[in-house]
């Protein structure tokens, strides 16, 4: 027997902030992502510092906030779910919006209309036999928490968050079996505002010449390192508490982690380069270690000591982590990169290495290198390390696209990308890895997370909207729509 198992969960993924829109409708509050404003077609914007937050507040009436519009899923969810059903989706990976349910995060009880909205979405999905897989927190928190608590840096957020997460289980446990706690939990160490609502320069002056996604000075790097790992720890705690709660109160539910997998090769065969690649791989895996094994591995504790990262551990944290181990591993995977041991060329973005290009790989419009083999290798490594089922929650190709006169997009490049990755997953399954589902990112065009724009498109479905919000928001099937339908129909046998 080889190939995809019979009940394999084929589908697609999105997040609430990037698709819903309906920004203040029916009582919704504003989240920290609602304050990220558009800065141009290739300018990363989800790194916000004090001046950006101030500007977003002061110029709210004139700046462009694409997340507030999304792609209008809030009003069009029935039409979108019908498109998913037409492709034969078995699962839809979506997220719920914290601020639609608890507008400021401090309310004792949730907003009724928000609660009903998600019941409606789940009902519509089940009508077509589509299983919802829900991310509880996909880069979203009430804006007040970012401004008053420094986001996840403060333990004060934990009780509010836990109340929200427990509410989700209590309210939706009969409609939702599969849950993920935090989207790409490791991203808080790379992009503290996005992943943790942290305004990095609140307590330290940003060094002159510093720009987002550039290497940083030692002093600033130290603050960054400490701040982001402390915030991460608080997220681990909140996640473990809710995993245990789900196990105790809704044993039919399965809860997974979610991390961004980046596979790293040594730049040369030198043992030093190989050691660097090993170190970075250990670092990437540690996010899963804590959530799946229930403890901080020795390696990361040594890393913390070496880098003077002192964590305020939280009462009883060891037991909390041990009691809240996830049921499955989930990941996003887009690209691989290479590392060097040469200190002059070794650069970091926060706790992450700066990516270096691999001459053996092709690169997307946005500089992301395409490498399905790395996915196969990593899936094998994850099997050996955790022996847990694996769900591939994100994978896909962002590209600039325009709607043709024939009202479609001939996106053969996307089909090639997905075909090669689906083949790699199939190979990994044949290697003995238990992969139980695959949801390509942005099954429908949506607001890009890093660029906060519509012009980076991932979808099987084109949405007629531009970066400024012009357009009809009508949906159009691309070539990949029909191709993916065939893939699902044949359970991954027909990839042509
Ligand atoms: C992942 C996120 O990092 O990558 C998504 O979970 C995001 O929210 C996706 O959209 C692709 O990134 P981008 O910046 O191309 O939208």
Reported as a single tens digit per residue, the pLDDT across 211-266 is 555 555 667 777 888 899 999 999 999 999 999 999 999 999 999 999 999 899 99
Any idea what DSSP says for residue 488?
A: H
Rounded Cα distance, 425 and 428, in Å? 5
Residue bearing the CA closest to ligand 1, atom 10: 449
Residue 346 has pLDDT above 80, yes or no: no
Residue bearing the CA closest to ligand 1, atom 8: 449
Residue bearing the CA closest to ligand 1, atom 9: 449
Task: Count CA atoms within 13 Å of residue 153 on its CB side.
Answer: 23
- The minimum-distance atom of ligand 1 relative to the CA of 15 is 8
Residue 354 has pLDDT above 80, yes or no: no
- Per-residue model confidence (pLDDT) at position 46: 75
Give the residue-averaged pLDDT of 84-95. 98
Residue 407 has pLDDT above 60, yes or no: yes
Helix (H), strand (E) at residue 370? strand 369-370
Reported as a single tens digit per residue, the pLDDT across 158-201 is 999 999 999 999 999 999 999 999 999 999 988 889 999 999 88
Tokens of 225: 């390192």
**Higher per-residue pLDDT: 216 or 92:** 92
Tokens of 12: 């697609």
Reported as a pLDDT band with limits 50, 70 and 90, residue 347 is: low
Number of neighbours of residue 210 by Cβ within 10 angstroms:
15
Residue bearing the CA closest to ligand 1, atom 11: 449
Give the residue-averaged pLDDT of 464-473. 97
Dihedral sign, Cα of residue 155, residue 157, residue 160, residue 162: negative
Residue bearing the CA closest to ligand 1, atom 2: 449
Q: What is the residue whose two structure tokens read 């695959």? A: 438
Helix (H, G, I), strand (E, B) or coil at 353: strand
DSSP letters along 255-316, please? EE--EEEEEEEESSS-HHHHHHHHHHHHHHHHHHIIIIISS--HHHHHHHHHTT------TT
- Per-residue model confidence (pLDDT) at position 211: 58
Give the residue-averaged pLDDT of 103-128. 98
Q: How far is the CA of 208 from the centre of ligand 1 (A)?
A: 29
Give the residue-averaged pLDDT of 418-443. 98
- Termini Cα distance of the chain: 21
Q: How far is the CA of 396 from the centre of ligand 1 (A)?
A: 10
User: Burial level of 253, CB count in 10 A (0-12/13-18/19+)?
Assistant: buried
Give the residue-averaged pLDDT of 49-65. 94
Q: How far is the CA of 411 from the centre of ligand 1 (A)?
A: 19
- Per-residue model confidence (pLDDT) at position 350: 45
Number of neighbours of residue 86 by Cβ within 10 angstroms:
14
* Contact present, 160 and 141 (Cβ < 8 Å): no
Number of neighbours of residue 176 by Cβ within 10 angstroms:
22
Nearest partner of 140 among 277, 253, 23, 42, judged by Cα: 23
Q: How far is the CA of 458 from the centre of ligand 1 (A)?
A: 10
Which residues have any ligand 1 atom within 6 Å of their CB? Answer: 15, 183-184, 260, 332, 394, 398, 441, 448-451, 456
Report the catalytic residues: 184, 394
- Least confidently predicted of 19-23, 222-226, 281-285, 340-344: 340-344
User: What pairs with residue 356 in β-bridges?
Assistant: 338
- Per-residue model confidence (pLDDT) at position 208: 67
Q: How far is the CA of 261 from the centre of ligand 1 (A)?
A: 13
% of residues, the chain, pLDDT over 70: 95
Tokens of 151: 């986001």
């Amino acid at each position: 027997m080889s190939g995809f198992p019979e009940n394999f969960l084929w589908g697609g993924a999105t997040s609430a902030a990037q698709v819903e829109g309906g920004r203040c409708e029916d009582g919704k509050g504003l989240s920290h992502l609602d304050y990220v404003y558009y800065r141009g077609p290739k300018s990363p914007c989800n790194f916000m510092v004090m001046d950006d937050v101030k500007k977003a507040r002061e110029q709210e009436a004139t700046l462009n906030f694409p997340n507030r519009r999304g792609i209008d899923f809030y009003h069009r969810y029935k039409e979108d779910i019908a498109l998913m059903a037409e492709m034969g989706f078995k699962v839809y990976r979506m997220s719920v919006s914290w601020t639609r349910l608890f507008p400021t995060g401090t309310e004792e009880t949730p907003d009724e209309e928000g609660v009903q909205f998600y019941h409606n979405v789940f009902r519509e999905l089940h009508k077509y036999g589509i299983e919802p897989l829900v991310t509880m927190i996909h880069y979203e928190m009430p804006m007040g928490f970012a401004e008053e608590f420094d986001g996840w840096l403060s333990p004060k957020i934990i009780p509010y968050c836990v109340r929200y997460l427990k509410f989700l289980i209590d309210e939706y446990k009969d409609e939702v079996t599969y849950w993920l706690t935090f989207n790409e939990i490791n991203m808080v160490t790379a992009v503290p505002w996005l992943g943790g609502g942290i305004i990095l320069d609140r307590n330290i002056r940003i060094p002159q010449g510093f720009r987002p996604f550039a290497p940083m000075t030692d002093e600033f790097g130290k603050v960054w390192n400490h701040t982001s790992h402390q915030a991460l720890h608080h997220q681990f705690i909140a996640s473990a508490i809710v995993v245990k709660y789900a196990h105790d109160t809704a044993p039919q539910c399965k809860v997974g982690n979610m991390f961004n997998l980046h596979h790293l090769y040594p730049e040369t065969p030198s043992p030093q380069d190989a050691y660097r690649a090993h170190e970075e791989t250990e670092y990437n895996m540690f996010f899963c270690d804590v959530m799946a094994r229930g403890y901080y591995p020795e390696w990361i504790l040594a890393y913390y000591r070496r880098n003077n990262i002192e964590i305020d551990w939280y009462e009883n944290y060891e037991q909390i982590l041990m009691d809240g181990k996830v049921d499955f591993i989930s990941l996003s995977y887009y690209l691989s990169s290479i590392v060097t041991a040469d200190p002059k060329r070794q650069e970091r973005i926060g706790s992450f290495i700066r990516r270096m290009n691999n001459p053996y790989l092709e690169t997307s419009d946005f500089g992301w290198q395409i490498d399905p083999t790395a996915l196969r290798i990593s899936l094998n490594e994850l099997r050996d390390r955790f022996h847990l089922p694996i769900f591939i929650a994100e994978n896909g190709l962002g590209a600039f696209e325009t709607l043709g006169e024939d009202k479609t997009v001939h996106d053969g490049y996307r089909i090639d990308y997905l075909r090669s990755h689906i083949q790699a997953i199939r190979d990994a399954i044949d290697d003995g890895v238990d992969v139980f589902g695959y949801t390509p990112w942005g099954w429908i065009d949506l607001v890009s997370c890093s660029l906060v724009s519509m012009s980076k498109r991932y979808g099987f479905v084109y949405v007629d909207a531009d970066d400024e919000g012009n357009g009809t928001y009508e949906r159009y099937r691309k070539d990949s729509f029909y191709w993916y339908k065939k893939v699902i129909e044949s359970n991954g046998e027909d990839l042509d």
